[in-house]
Structure 1
């Protein structure tokens, strides 16, 4: 029995991507010159950075494709009729992925020179190769896009505080440095605030950590609700928050801070069966001056906060 008949016995020609609409006369000699190989589960047909001169046409079984390593999730699976190794065969460059046998079966192995011969004698085969390649490019684009979205999501999770929805200190250190530099270079004012919940440890000890978390969340939401979206806000750590207001001098920032203090003092803490009395905050306000770095700005706001605490808490200080 010829290899052509063997192939036809396993898989109709129209099911093979490369052979679709190709006449049998064009295929006869080429198919008979190919090897038919049994493949076992776990067998590696292609490895990254390896030189490959063969096109694998899957007749039975299933293959999976891994980009990074064999322990990573497969980016694609190949079913009977699909091909593997076409990119490295056509451009002569090392392969870029693992192709591993997922279910045992059989492949037709077509050497590189036969692939080019088929594309030369059959217009349909050449079109099929282009279709296969365009499908690979589209799949690669989807994979890259999905990876970028995942990375953005992970970055977001790495810079956003889960309890408050505010950005965290990691994000603050990066963004505040840019804001300070921009303010000094342009001469545009920038005011900052350090906000701390008064007597938070006593509140946490009295009502428990769950109520403590609710208090932190409530204060954070109150701050966010009373500031413009352009204002930088972050959870500095524990029950402390940091705010940077661009385009505002210290005098204006003191007025904004006072409104925040009043809003927090008027917002009860959610609790069952009845809300708890509002907590209060102390706020230190400082401005950015020439020669200031991020540490200087934070230190100035922190010193102002301690002055507010020393004056009796629940107040704003410069």
Structure 2
């Protein structure tokens, strides 16, 4: 039997708000009241449901993905559960569990539909509840997607320089190579290495060294075209992929980058500055090249640039 407090709770809830209780009072008397303990599964995913549950006292927690994930929503006095499966006739999609001892008004499926037929206000209220559920679900999806994007960004972006890293390079560079192969257009890879960076880092410390890496990333980024791809490839090494670019043009770009870096004075403390230089190895894509073979060719060219005195550009001998 519903108490006066129970009726007040229902009148304050979303389903029976603005509904004259005399309209549905006789139908409410046909419903039952159940008390369930914390942890008992009221509704389970994949199980049919034939009742609407109205919270009189206590709290229900809704877990769309099971209790291994955080609850999606908490239902308290006046809220209802199970309406979605009653409306669409499908099996339950979420786990619903009381967080503490909870009293529920249990409305059978046929009684709910009779209430809807008796009162357009109840029908309107139920539509409002469903719309609210959908809106909350959409917001949760957006938040989940944003979280996924943040995680993806954290995995694929180098925290120090803000450039993409080798994890991202594997997929992005490979797709660019496949596109150039399909379109029968040239493509080149430049490996850029800061000369004597370990010595520089040991002499001036990691703070100054990190500043050099950030400045290098900025210098390389400023000269990029929209189709060019740049990553931090190693501690002091960067990889630049140039789609639709011939070997001669790529060597010119590498030379321009080398001159730009050589002309910069790097602050190293106490108003002192130091010059840094880079060496570049350039390789053009060849028939049946993979990313690994293209990188190996550019790395061979970079090694020759180092061996030939540094602060220079060498192209791959293929």
Tell me whether 1:223 sits opposite 2:220 in the alignment.
yes
2:81 is matched with 84
Change (3 A) 1:86 1:271: farther
- 1:116 and 1:84 map into 2 onto residues whose CA distance is 15
- SS of residue in 1 equivalent to 2:274: coil
1:11 is matched with 9
Deviation at 1:296, TM superposition (A): 2.0
- 1:273 and 1:59 map into 2 onto residues whose CA distance is 72
Tell me whether 1:203 sits opposite 2:200 in the alignment.
yes
- 2:252 and 2:220 map into 1 onto residues whose CA distance is 14
2:72 is matched with 75
Root-mean-square deviation (CA, aligned residues, Å) is: 2.0
Deviation at 1:168, TM superposition (A): 0.6
- 1:275 and 1:109 map into 2 onto residues whose CA distance is 79
- 2:229 and 2:167 map into 1 onto residues whose CA distance is 13
**Does the aligned pair in 1 maintain the 2:188–2:241 contact within 8 Å?**
yes
Deviation at 1:289, TM superposition (A): 2.5
- 1:207 and 1:292 map into 2 onto residues whose CA distance is 40
- 1:114 and 1:274 map into 2 onto residues whose CA distance is 83
- 1:18 and 1:124 map into 2 onto residues whose CA distance is 9
- 1:213 and 1:114 map into 2 onto residues whose CA distance is 70
- 2:169 and 2:34 map into 1 onto residues whose CA distance is 59
Deviation at 1:280, TM superposition (A): 1.3
**Does the aligned pair in 1 maintain the 2:10–2:16 contact within 8 Å?**
no
- SS of residue in 2 equivalent to 1:248: coil
Provide TM-score, normalisation by structure 2. 0.91
Deviation at 1:218, TM superposition (A): 1.9
- 1:72 and 1:234 map into 2 onto residues whose CA distance is 35
- 1:121 and 1:155 map into 2 onto residues whose CA distance is 52
Tell me whether 1:176 sits opposite 2:170 in the alignment.
no
Deviation at 1:121, TM superposition (A): 2.2
- 1:267 and 1:226 map into 2 onto residues whose CA distance is 15
1:256 is matched with 253
1:187 is matched with 184
Tell me whether 1:150 sits opposite 2:154 in the alignment.
no
2:48 is matched with 51
**Does the aligned pair in 2 maintain the 1:268–1:275 contact within 8 Å?**
no
What pairs up with 1:1-318 in 2 under 5 angstroms?
A: 2-3=1-2, 5=4, 7-8=6-7, 10-11=8-9, 13=11, 15-102=12-99, 104-274=101-271, 276-318=273-315
Change (3 A) 1:51 1:12: closer
Q: Which runs of 5+ in 2 are unaligned?
A: none
Number of aligned positions between the proteins = 315
Deviation at 1:307, TM superposition (A): 1.2
Provide TM-score, normalisation by structure 1. 0.91
Change (3 A) 1:269 1:47: farther
